[in-house]
Structure 1
Amino acid sequence: MLGSSSVSYAIALSALTFISSEIVEGSRPVLQRTIESLFSDRSETVYPDACKWLRSSPRQTKICNRDPGMEETIDVAKNQAISSCEDAFRYDKWNCSLVFNNKPKRNIFNKIYRETAFIFALTAASLSHAIAKGCASGSLVKCSCLNSFGKNTVKEWKTAGCGDDFRYGKRITRNFLDFKHAGNDQIADTLKQNVLVGVEAVGEQLREVCKCHGFSGSCTTKTCWKRLPPFSSAMGLLKKQYHHAVKKKIVNYTTKRAITPKVRKRIRKDRKSLVYLQKTPNLCVSTVGRPCRDRQNCATLCCGRGYNKYQRAVDSRCNCKMLNCCFVKCDTCRENVDFYECK
């Protein structure tokens, strides 16, 4: 009997632990869970939820059900954020990995490091960019081309063409991340600020593009629209924000109590900068064997340990010119390129 009761107790305790963990996971803000899920899941796993690429909340399910194109847009935003991050940071000490120095316990989302702040800004920026582009391309059916009308200085009239609706992208991104219910403590304020910095980085790239129409090349009529450049433009701005991120003093990280208006005013002095709360661990351990771009970059990336220089052969276009290794009529030739790797 004693053994049976012990087994029953153990089963009950395990079930209670599982339920408790589910409650804790479910109690985390949607904003935090969504960003972490999109950037962490590097696989092509498809969930049964309406949004497919993440376990969606009721609000997110409603948004995805309302516009079937949202599933594809989320996938575009997810892949765009990850690939652009890995490309931009491939020669940096942190190369968009999810853990520091290959230590699983040092997950990038356990605290709010500089890199964590950047990921929140990057993912939110990618979402707003993908949604704005989806409106113009027609993949999202609940929005359309951004239209505006106006007159120019030479009394020629212009009509709006098919533009990228950034305002719609910004609004849906905030709704999708459940921005209003992200919390009122310092952690929530920090994450929300980083999300807004990311979204506004996309908005700063919005430009008016015009096309002239008229007889014999004249510009009697203009068609104008707002267009966002490729996401790499916003990525360049966000990387600058990453290097100039501001470290804030932790007020109540462990208690998660709502902070007073006086403290919040002090925290919000600079709303245009990325904000982080914890210092990044020393990343020099993780750079061993990493490729580096050139000697100047290697000195920083390799943390003073030095680097190995190799040569590798690559194919290049000859352009029908006489080169050291090519004949006049060849298409490609092999040439050696210097390659550096950290010791």
Structure 2
Amino acid sequence: GKDGSPLLCGSIPGLVPKQLRFCRNYIEIMPSVAEGVKLGIQECQHQFRGRRWNCTTIDDSLAIFGPVLDKATRESAFVHAIASAGVAFAVTRSCAEGTSTICGCDSHHKGPPGEGWKWGGCSEDADFGVLVSREFADARENRPDARSAMNKHNNEAGRTTILDHMHLKCKCHGLSGSCEVKTCWWAQPDFRAIGDFLKDKYDSASEMVVEKHRESRGWVETLRAKYSLFKPPTERDLVYYENSPNFCEPNPETGSFGTRDRTCNVTSHGIDGCDLLCCGRGHNTRTEKRKEKCHCIFHWCCYVSCQECIRIYDVHTCK
């Protein structure tokens, strides 16, 4: 109910006043805002599972990534982009599922339907999800400094990714599933596709330099591409202006956990391989026994019986 809502919003730590107001006005979709942030973090951990920085979160801290995000690195850029995309994605999806009275399906269908299909189903209203993400995630980026400019840019890059990847989904109708008539609607991609795309943007992120300008409201910082030979970043690119720590050794100041005891891939020559992931310190190998189902037989009709086998695996971890 309306009267209970301020209590809930007030209990979320770390909200700036604008976010608190937003929370109270949009109380119904706050659960999906939270869900979206979580989705972004999970995707970050999937994308970076084999890297020295693997998007570790700290449970007992308001700054869930620790000091890592204090610096204007490409890791910070990725986290902002994926979290903003996550919020837009989750809000859009819950609106399409009809769980809220303030949003629903998208009725402005872009363009007349094509040959052999008509609009139907529930088109996902990504514009609304993006609007919510912009209002909520950008509320704290209101300073005239370089870091606010960077966060806003990367937040927007994350959201634009969703709008860029909207596509038609269709369902066939007709006798025995023949496609005489198709109904189609706009749908978001899998969130994994968003993660893959933004991970590429992380790898090709643009390094910027900070410029100071005098304006009537005082000093304002903006960002300019560091290397004029490269083409300047578009609104779809990620930007950063500080170099990343190497994440090899634990360092409380940079938020690096180091890579000791991380599992590494002994056959890989990439960053997930034992040479690079362990930063040249070498690795330990131990064997692990795991119970697995094996020798499965399908019985007519209809069940499967299996035996249990013990398989032995080598596990390699960084020294």
Q: TM-score, normalised by structure 2?
A: 0.76
Deviates further, 276-285 or 307-316: 307-316
Q: Which residue of 2 aligns with 1:198?
A: 158
The amino acid of 2:24's aligned partner reads N
Match of 2:195 among 232, 235, 242: 235
- Aligned-residue RMSD, C-alpha: 3.2
Deviates further, 306-315 or 115-124: 306-315
1:311 and 2:287 are equivalent in the alignment: yes
Q: CA deviation at 1:119?
A: 1.1
For 1:269 and 1:184, the matched residues in 2 are separated by: 21
Q: Deviations over 1:289-318 (max 9, x none)?
A: 211134322221011222122221223232
1:292 and 2:264 are equivalent in the alignment: yes
For 1:292 and 1:71, the matched residues in 2 are separated by: 38
Aligned residue runs from structure 1 range 96-245, under 5 A = 96-97=55-56, 107-147=67-107, 148=109, 150-153=112-115, 156-178=116-138, 182-245=142-205
Kindly indicate whether the alpha-carbon contact (under 8 Å) linking 2:265 and 2:316 is maintained by their aligned counterparts in 1: yes
Distance 1:52 1:152, change over 3 A: farther
Distance 1:61 1:268, change over 3 A: farther
Distance 1:247 1:260, change over 3 A: closer
Q: Which residue of 2 aligns with 1:78?
A: 37
Matched residue of 2:119: which SS? strand
For 2:306 and 2:178, the matched residues in 1 are separated by: 46
Q: CA deviation at 1:69?
A: 2.7
Q: CA deviation at 1:51?
A: 7.2
Matched residue of 1:309: which SS? strand
Match of 1:91 among 50, 56, 69: 50
Kindly indicate whether the alpha-carbon contact (under 8 Å) linking 1:68 and 1:140 is maintained by their aligned counterparts in 2: no
Kindly indicate whether the alpha-carbon contact (under 8 Å) linking 2:206 and 2:237 is maintained by their aligned counterparts in 1: yes
Q: Which residue of 2 aligns with 1:258?
A: 220
Gaps of 5+ in 2: 1-5, 59-65, 250-257, 298-303
For 1:339 and 1:79, the matched residues in 2 are separated by: 29
Kindly indicate whether the alpha-carbon contact (under 8 Å) linking 2:84 and 2:158 is maintained by their aligned counterparts in 1: yes
Q: Hey, which bits of structure 1, 4+ residues long, moved more than 6 A?
A: 260-264
The count of aligned residue pairs is 280
Q: Which residue of 1 aligns with 2:243?
A: 279
For 1:189 and 1:92, the matched residues in 2 are separated by: 27
Distance 1:202 1:260, change over 3 A: closer
Larger radius of gyration: 1
Q: TM-score, normalised by structure 1?
A: 0.71
For 2:219 and 2:68, the matched residues in 1 are separated by: 23
Q: Which residue of 1 aligns with 2:24?
A: 65
Q: CA deviation at 1:58?
A: 4.2
For 2:83 and 2:279, the matched residues in 1 are separated by: 29
Matched residue of 1:226: which SS? strand
Q: CA deviation at 1:329?
A: 5.0
Gaps of 5+ in 1: 1-46, 100-105, 322-327
Q: Which residue of 1 aligns with 2:3?
A: none
Greater per-residue strand proportion: 2
Match of 1:247 among 207, 213, 228: 207
For 2:145 and 2:15, the matched residues in 1 are separated by: 24
For 2:112 and 2:119, the matched residues in 1 are separated by: 7
1:302 and 2:278 are equivalent in the alignment: yes
Q: CA deviation at 1:145?
A: 1.4
Q: CA deviation at 1:252?
A: 4.3
Distance 1:304 1:56, change over 3 A: closer
Percent identity between the two aligned chains: 29
For 1:295 and 1:262, the matched residues in 2 are separated by: 41
Deviates further, 86-95 or 129-138: 86-95
Q: Which residue of 1 aligns with 2:233?
A: 270
Distance 1:98 1:334, change over 3 A: closer
Kindly indicate whether the alpha-carbon contact (under 8 Å) linking 2:80 and 2:151 is maintained by their aligned counterparts in 1: yes
Matched residue of 1:151: which SS? coil
